[in-house]
Amino acid sequence: MNTESSCLDRLEISTPWMNAAGFLGFSPSSPAWPAEMGAFVTNPISLAPRKPALHRQVQPYAGGFLLHTGFPTPGFQAVLRQNVEKWKKLPIPVWAHLLPQTPEEIPGMIETLETIDNIGAVELGIPPGISLHSALDFIRAASGELPLMVCVGVDEIQSDWLPSIRDAGTTGLVLSAPRGILKASDHLMRGRLYGPAVLPLMLKAVCRLAQFDLAVIASGGVFSLADGETLLAAGACAVQVDAALWSNADL
Amino acid sequence: MMKATRALISEIFSGSDGPGVRIECASTLRPTPGQYLLAQVESSQQILPVPLFIESFENATLVVPPPVPPEWFPGLELSLRGPLGCGFHLPSAARRLLLTDLGNHHGHRLLSLVNSAGHPLETVLLTDNPPSDLPVEIEVLPPKSLGEILPWADFAAFELPLHQLKSLRGLSGLSSLSEFPVHCEALIDTPLICGGIASCGVCSVRLNHGWALACKDGPVFRLNQLSEDE
């Protein structure tokens, strides 16, 4: 199990609390926010602009909600133009969440991020459904001077991936929201699942993966301080809060 | 992050289309027509905040039309954030108001324009499902009357989901949305879940010159800026 201080040192953050990518925008809405967080994680950033999903939707269910947005972004250069000055003024480091389509897109983005003040880490979103071999291509392409956090769905990560991910130069593993399918009127809707129902899945994954020498960051299922503390006690080095930030600003 | 205001549900009333609520809160919390509040019940299992559109004000009380969550009850404490987004721009000189609801809210969200105008308005509501408690001075016509009555209006306010934009254009008889006069504005009925702090994109709206977010750039847009295509 990781001790808290060694975890924070490895991640180069002062507290284990942060937001999940996609839940507070590309910059915080208030310049005063959030001094008590360890880092600010940006919305996913792709190299080229991404349109919203054609059938974007939110679908509540008993354990939370399914969200399908397509992660729209104006593209890497536009995000930098609009946000770099805001990032520099934040009292906490910024983790830039990258959403590449191919490994070839990554090195140029990494080199640019390395020149920007206050970028604390890169969080690399691994496309769903790919093999370990392909995932390692993405990870190696992202190796550079910045700490690298590899972001994989909690429903996709395999234990036997971890030694390879670690040896490829990864600092931390972000376990992100699982994907699911719900029936919505006349069609099946796919998307990411958020809500309290994710917590048991996340806790199980943290318990399973914390034994590896890799900082595990739990990103999902946290809707109270106690939820986050449970994940930390189970071995997570940090926790990322998602939809609770939209409904409970005092969390 | 925007500061939340505490509020109290003082009454559940039975509207023609389900229950609505009256909410007591600080008198400074006054969304303009088309703006919204996000409501959260503290210490509840509610995960996403609920967007509220206000139909009218009664001193320090907000009148919220249906739909509201069925589990809400009198005495329940709410936390309200807002006002959020951009609402309608009703000109002070407007006297003939056209309201058109092609969504599921029976014109309730548009009626706040009548209630907040501050001067008498001659109002026509186009809908197939008018609320039974509609003031008698408001004339109701079917939506197919749109093309005929649009030139009469000083200001036209619409409410509809994005997938109804083509139907709206068809009803108008115009060949494209860009031909709608500048005094036509539409409240887009779409999920409003983050209040603009996330830019998550679930409420994305395609404009003629790019994308906008209903949660902070809308939910009201000039109709001639909207695009039917994605």
| Contact criterion met (CB < 8 Å) for A29 and B1 | yes
What phi and psi, each to the nearest 5 degrees, are found at residue A39?
A: -160, 160
The residue ranking higher by pLDDT, A221 or A33, is A221
**Interface contacts (A, B; CB < 8 Å):** 84
Which of B3, B48, B211 has its CB closest to that of A246?
B48
Which of B2, B200, B230 has its CB closest to that of A22?
B200
| Contact criterion met (CB < 8 Å) for B40 and A248 | yes
Quick one: pLDDT at residue B70? 87
Dump strand ranges (E) for A77-220.
94-98, 119-125, 148-153, 172-176, 179-184, 187-194, 215-219
pLDDT at position A248 over 70: no
Specify the pairing of strand A238-241 against strand A17-19.
parallel
| Contact criterion met (CB < 8 Å) for A67 and B196 | no
The mean pLDDT of chain B is 89
DSSP letter at A94 equals E
Which chain B residues are closer than 8 Å to A25 by Cβ?
197-199
pLDDT over 70 for what percent of chain A?
94
Average pLDDT value for residue range A152-165? 91
- Phi-psi map region of B201: left, alpha, beta (phi>0 left; psi -120 to 50 alpha): left
Quick one: pLDDT at residue A31? 54
Q: How many other β-carbons are positioned within 10 Å of the β-carbon of residue B61?
A: 18
pLDDT at position B211 over 60: yes
Which chain B residues are closer than 8 Å to A249 by Cβ?
1-4, 81
Both ends of chain B: CA-CA distance in Å?
Answer: 31
Quick one: pLDDT at residue B118? 79
The pLDDT tens digits of the residues spanning A29-66 come to 765 566 689 999 999 999 999 999 988 999 999 899 99
**Residue A116 touches partner B, C-beta closer than 8 Å:** no
Both ends of chain A: CA-CA distance in Å?
Answer: 26
Quick one: pLDDT at residue A1? 46
Q: How close, in Å, is residue A23 to chain B by CA atoms?
A: 5
pLDDT over 90 for what percent of chain B?
54
User: How many angstroms from the chain centroid is the CA of residue A80?
Assistant: 19
pLDDT category of residue B1 using cuts at 50, 70 and 90: low
Quick one: pLDDT at residue A66? 96
Q: How many other β-carbons are positioned within 10 Å of the β-carbon of residue A159?
A: 11
For residues A35 and A29, is the Cβ–Cβ distance under 8 A?
no
Quick one: pLDDT at residue A16? 95
The pLDDT tens digits of the residues spanning B129-184 come to 888 778 889 999 999 999 999 999 999 999 999 999 999 999 988 888 888 887 99
Average pLDDT value for residue range A106-134? 95
The pLDDT tens digits of the residues spanning B4-59 come to 888 999 999 887 778 889 999 887 788 999 999 999 987 667 789 999 999 888 87
Residue type, A97: H
3-state SS assignment for residue B194: coil
Average pLDDT value for residue range A9-33? 87
Quick one: pLDDT at residue A201? 96
Measured CA to CA, the distance from residue B91 to residue B83 in angstroms comes to 20
Residue appearing with tokens 């389900």 = B18
Quick one: pLDDT at residue A249? 53
Quick one: pLDDT at residue B50? 93
